[in-house]
């Protein structure tokens, strides 16, 4: 038949993961000829050989690729007569008018690199920035595509001749590894004292010495700085808490190894697999003993080292506290000068390096539920992997909510969720949010044609969306908070059509202008109806009650036949309805019960009441009366039963368990009634309350027992971080309400 020339285009995560060297090796085995190059769309391969051989080669590429690659499509185009090229080569990258490449997340140090790190005869022995095609920094260093060294923060580090030879050697695993470097040509460590003054000597040894003495060290990592101290030194941990103003929120630790982690927590093979995965997330594990200085609940956040620097640092310790270096809810710090200035009086030393961080990226945080990740925070190691939603159409920017803010940007059928942003409550976090939107639009070469936001007008994300749409003349759609939660879980599971959503969180603006959060919704990606809720709870003093939860406890007692203690001011406020907005937030019900049980009168972080109730709960199958009036769960009888058992001296852990058991049975009964009336089968669970593993384990099981099919989040978080995915899908499906611009008919 004769030789022909064909062009193969491969799209997906095929840059920075050893894809071109992989192609080179496969081409040689197949006896073909030609070249391969990165483009702004992915990878382009031009081959000459028999047509059958080229087609077989393309088919092989659909299922055979390097471990860190993700192939979306393989297409053969432009059949031509062969021109007789010799051999095979990697050629210079090409920028095309439209960029359609995907970007790899940052990947933990691979075993081969770890072997070199520990080999005294290797030229990279003990070098804290070694990496190869199969591991190392990606998303946090990339400035532009295609993914070539000049387009990363490694552009300022020219390769030495030895690294250059490795880079061009097809047999070397550093072949075309863009961040590759060595002690002679790569980034270097430095150490500064508490005043930011450079200290001469081995930077790593100086940091270890400070830590061993009970000091706090700011460590520059992959996506930002950590604040670190010995986790076995309660005094050091207390100083860190006081200086960072993080008095009670749990602290994560980094353990040297799986064996070291087992000294702190009990876990099995499934958790170990996630801990050692290339993503290296913080994994929430059941703690073994009393570790109140680190966490006041039953879980301890544990991660393993994911950079060579971390491995070197942990040589001297079983574990270290590793908490994000940020102050007063500001974004994680990423630059050396910023760290030295902002962390004065917090850190006793600074372990720095001179490789710039382009994008901040916090550690991912998750549980392992039924063998799979269940995200509380989807960030490093996972971002910017896309989430496929199988919905084409216009390019949409979904702006998320306020707490645990995130955004989603669509391109064709792919959706790109942002890394963790934080709570949008200050100018600094808003600036970071805006910068990341700009960065994503550049990397993925998309310009939004439509923006969508939460319907709460005072969220900074909504204000950003409104201002941008006014300035750029773009249409803006507002989406109800809990509808977005529901559709987020539907999209996460690729579920379409009408279903029931059990959406439980703390706060979200309802269509009636009140605060929702304990909702049962029936709907799809376009519309919904509220078919159930809980009896509203008066919030004495408004938002103040969210933090002073004894106010909510008092309101619960007052509503339950007036059995409340004397507080004339609060009593008058309730009787007159003065500054006592009503909330159906399930999170508020948890807060109130937490206060009634005497666990806390106030909280220092959102959701702490629910965390403490879950931590207190013992194994008990009892429950309290489930009273459903029409479409509303009336919690008053439950509250009276809780108070009665508290007075009778029933153990707090038993009451906590029975409270949550009651919520499970209430949800099952409501679901059974609603699904029976509406002819529904599928039930999605979303909202921050479903971070509660007690509920998450029991409620789906009970729903299955009554013949319903439950769905939980798998690819994005159930909390407000997942809102933007739901917003985006609703907008693409024609739902929501136009705030600016077009009308549904025009679409």
pLDDT digits (tens, 9 = 90+) for 502-526: 999 999 999 999 999 999 999 999 9
Summarize the confidence of residues 209-237 as an average pLDDT.
97
- DSSP secondary structure code for residue 176 in this structure: T
Other residues' Cβ atoms within 10 Å of the Cβ of residue 90 = 17
Tell me the three state secondary structure of residue 152.
Answer: strand
Residue 647 burial class via C-beta count within 10 angstroms: exposed 0-12, middle 13-18, buried 19 and up? exposed
Which of 96-110, 404-418, 523-537 is most confident?
Answer: 523-537
- Average confidence score pLDDT of the chain: 93
Neighbours of 321 (CB within 10 A): 24
| Band of pLDDT at residue 99, cut at 50, 70 and 90 | low
Residues 229 and 294: their CA atoms lie apart, in Å, by: 11
Structure-token pair, residue 478: 């507002």
Residue pair 432/418 in contact (Cβ under 8 Å)? The answer is no
Answer yes or no: is pLDDT of 746 > 70.
no
Q: Of 699, 718, 278, whose CA–CA distance to 493 is shortest?
A: 718
Give the pLDDT confidence of 144-184 residue by residue, as tens digits.
988 889 999 999 999 999 999 999 887 899 988 999 999 99
CA nearest to 223, candidates 351, 106, 385, 70 = 106
Q: Which residues pair with 340 in a beta bridge?
A: none
| Token representation of residue 327 | 């102050």
Judge whether residue 570 has pLDDT over 80: yes
Give yes or no for a cis peptide into 342 (omega within 30° of 0).
no
Secondary structure class of 205 (helix, strand, coil): helix
Which pLDDT score is estimated for 744?
Answer: 42
Lowest mean pLDDT among 394-408, 490-504, 554-568: 554-568
**CB of 230 closer than 8 Å to CB of 317:** yes
Alpha helices by DSSP H, listed for 18-110, are 19-30, 51-61
Return the structure tokens found at 15.
């840059």
* 35 neighbors 88 (Cβ within 8 angstroms): yes
Q: CA geometry: angle at 584 spanning 578 and 587, to 5°?
A: 110
Taking CA atoms, 225 is separated from 156, 257, 280, 685, in Å, by 21, 21, 17, 34
Percent share of the chain, pLDDT over 70: 97
How much is the pLDDT for 745?
41
Q: Which residues contact 112 (CB under 8 A, 6 or more apart)?
A: 132, 134, 173
Kindly give, in sequence order, each residue whose CB lies less than 8 Å from that of residue 704, ignoring residues fewer than 6 positions away. Answer: 710
**For residues 522 and 501, what is the distance between their CA atoms, to the nearest angstrom?**
6
Q: Residues 23-33: pLDDT tens digits?
A: 888 888 888 89
What's the CA gap between 571 and 555, in Å, rounded? 9
Token pair, residue 139, equals 């998303």
Cβ neighbours around 720 below 10 Å, total: 27
Verdict on whether the full-model pTM lies above 0.85: yes
Residue count (the chain): 747
In angstroms, the first-to-last Cα distance of the chain is 51
Structure confidence at residue 743 (pLDDT):
55
Residue whose entry in the numeric block shows the structure tokens 């509660």? 692
Is the CB of residue 38 less than 8 Å from the CB of residue 20?
yes
The three-state DSSP-derived secondary structure of 609-628 is HHHHHHHHCCCCCCCCCCCE
**Residue 465: half-sphere exposure toward Cβ, Cα within 13 Å:** 36
3-state helix, strand, coil in the chain (%, to 5): 35, 25, 45
pLDDT in tens, 281-317: 999 999 988 788 999 889 999 999 999 999 999 999 9
What does the pLDDT look like over 370-404, one tens digit per residue?
A: 999 999 999 999 999 898 887 878 899 999 999 99
Q: Are strands 372-377 and 528-534 parallel, antiparallel or unpaired?
A: unpaired
Q: What is the pLDDT of residues 446-456, one digit of tens each?
A: 999 999 999 99
Using an 8 Å Cβ cutoff, are 419 and 471 in contact? Answer: no
pLDDT at 516 (0 to 100): 97
Confidence of residue 585 (pLDDT cuts 50, 70, 90): very high
Rounded to 10°, the helix 636-647/550-559 angle is: 110
Are 475 and 450 in contact, with CB atoms under 8 Å apart? yes
> Can you tell me the distance from the alpha carbon of 244 to that of 278, in angstroms, rounded to the nearest whole number?
30
Query: Pairing between strand 709-711 and 682-686?
Result: parallel
Q: What's the sign of the alpha-carbon dihedral 422, 424, 430, 434?
A: positive
pLDDT of residue 240: 96
Helices (H) and strands (E) counted in the chain, each on its own, are 22, 32
Backbone angles phi, psi at 739, to 5 degrees: -100, -35
* Residue 639 to residue 662: CA distance in whole angstroms: 11
CA torsion angle 520 524 525 528 (round to 10): -50
Whether residue 464 is predicted with pLDDT greater than 90 in this model: the reply is: yes
Quick check: bond before 146 cis, omega within 30? yes
Residue 98's pLDDT is what? 58
Minimal CA–CA distance to 36: which of 20, 19, 57, 59?
20
Provide the pairing of β-strand 476-479 with 299-303: unpaired
Please enumerate, as own/partner, the contacts of 428-431 that have beta carbons within 8 Å and a separation of 24 or more. Answer: 428/330, 428/331, 429/329, 429/330, 429/331, 429/405, 430/460, 430/464
Determine how many CB atoms are found less than 10 A away from the CB of residue 185.
Answer: 16
Could you tell me the pLDDT band of residue 95, with boundaries at 50, 70 and 90?
low
pLDDT digit string (tens) for 47-62? Answer: 988 888 888 999 999 9
Q: Tell me, what DSSP letter sits at residue 564? A: -
The DSSP annotation for 287-340 comes to: ESS--TTT-SSSEEEEE---SHHHHHHGGG-SEEEEEE--STTPPPP-SHHHHH
**Please, are residues 45 and 38 in contact by the beta-carbon 8 Å criterion?**
no
Question: Which letter does DSSP use for residue 172 in this model?
Answer: S
Are the C-beta atoms of residues 346 and 328 closer than 8 Å to each other? no
């Amino acid at each position: 038949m004769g030789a022909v020339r064909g062009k193969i285009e491969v799209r997906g995560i095929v840059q920075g993961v050893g894809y071109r060297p992989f192609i080179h090796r496969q081409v040689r085995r197949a006896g073909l000829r030609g070249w391969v190059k990165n483009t702004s769309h992915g990878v382009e391969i031009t081959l000459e050989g028999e047509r059958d051989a080229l087609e077989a080669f393309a088919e092989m590429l659909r299922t055979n690729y390097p471990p860190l690659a993700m192939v979306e499509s393989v297409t053969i185009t432009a059949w031509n007569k062969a021109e007789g090229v010799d051999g095979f080569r990697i050629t210079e990258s090409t920028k095309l008018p439209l960029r359609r490449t995907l970007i790899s997340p940052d990947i933990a140090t691979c075993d081969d690199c770890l072997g070199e790190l520990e080999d005294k005869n290797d030229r990279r022995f003990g070098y804290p920035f070694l990496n190869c095609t199969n591991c190392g920094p990606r998303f946090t260093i990339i400035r532009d595509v295609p993914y070539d060294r000049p387009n990363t923060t490694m552009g300022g580090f020219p390769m030495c001749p030895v690294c250059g030879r490795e880079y061009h050697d097809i047999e070397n695993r550093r072949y075309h590894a863009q961040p590759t470097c060595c002690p002679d040509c790569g980034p270097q460590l430095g150490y500064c004292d508490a005043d930011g003054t450079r200290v001469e000597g081995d930077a790593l040894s100086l940091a270890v010495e400070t830590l061993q003495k009970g000091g706090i060290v700011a460590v520059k990592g992959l996506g930002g700085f950590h604040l670190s101290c010995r986790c076995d030194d309660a005094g050091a941990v207390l100083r860190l808490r006081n200086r960072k103003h993080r008095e009670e929120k749990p602290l994560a630790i980094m353990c040297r190894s799986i064996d070291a982690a087992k000294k702190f927590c009990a876990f099995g093979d499934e958790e170990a697999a996630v801990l050692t995965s290339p993503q290296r997330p913080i994994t929430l594990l059941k703690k073994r003993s009393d570790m109140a200085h680190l966490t006041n609940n039953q879980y301890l956040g544990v991660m393993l080292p994911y950079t060579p620097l971390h491995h070197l640092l942990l040589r001297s310790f079983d574990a270290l506290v590793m908490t994000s270096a940020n102050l007063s809810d500001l974004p994680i710090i990423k630059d050396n000068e910023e760290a030295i200035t902002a962390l004065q009086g917090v850190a006793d030393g600074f372990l720095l390096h001179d490789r710039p961080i382009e994008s901040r990226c916090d550690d991912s945080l998750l549980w392992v539920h039924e063998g799979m990740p269940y995200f509380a925070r989807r960030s490093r190691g996972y971002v910017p992997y896309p989430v496929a939603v199988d919905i084409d159409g216009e390019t949409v920017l979904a702006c998320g909510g306020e707490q645990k803010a995130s955004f989603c940007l669509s391109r064709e059928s792919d959706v790109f969720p942002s890394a963790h942003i934080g709570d949008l409550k200050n100018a600094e976090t808003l600036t970071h949010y805006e910068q990341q939107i700009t960065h994503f639009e550049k990397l993925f070469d998309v310009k939004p044609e439509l923006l969508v936001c939460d319907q709460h007008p005072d969220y900074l994300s909504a204000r950003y969306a409104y201002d941008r749409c006014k300035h750029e003349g773009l249409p803006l759609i507002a989406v109800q908070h809990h509808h977005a939660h529901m559709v987020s879980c539907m999209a996460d599971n690729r579920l379409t059509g009408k279903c029931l959503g059990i959406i439980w969180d703390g706060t979200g603006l309802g269509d009636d202008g009140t605060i929702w959060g304990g909702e049962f919704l029936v709907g799809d990606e376009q519309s919904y109806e509220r078919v159930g809720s809980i009896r509203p709870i008066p919030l004495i003093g408004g938002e103040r009650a969210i933090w002073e939860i004894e106010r909510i406890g008092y309101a619960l007692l007052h509503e339950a036949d007036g059995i409340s203690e004397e507080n004339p001011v609060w009593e008058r406020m309730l009787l007159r309805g003065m500054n006592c907005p009503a909330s159906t937030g399930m999170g508020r019900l948890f807060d109130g019960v937490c206060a009634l049980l005497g666990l806390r009168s106030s909280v220092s972080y959102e959701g702490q009441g629910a965390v403490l109730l879950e931590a207190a709960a013992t194994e008990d199958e009892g429950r309290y009366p489930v009273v459903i009036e029409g479409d509303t769960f009336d919690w008053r009888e439950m509250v009276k039963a809780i108070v009665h058992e508290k007075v009778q001296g029933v153990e707090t852990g038993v009451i906590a368990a029975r409270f949550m058991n009651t919520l499970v049975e209430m949800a099952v009964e409501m679901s059974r009634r609603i699904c029976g009336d509406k002819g529904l089968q599928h039930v999605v669970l979303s909202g921050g309350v479903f971070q509660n593993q007690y509920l998450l384990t029991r409620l789906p099981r009970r729903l299955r027992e009554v013949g319903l099919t439950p769905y939980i989040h798998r690819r994005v978080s159930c909390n407000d971080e997942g809102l933007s995915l739901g917003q985006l899908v609703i907008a693409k499906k024609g739902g929501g309400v136009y705030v600016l611009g077009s009308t549904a008919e025009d679409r």
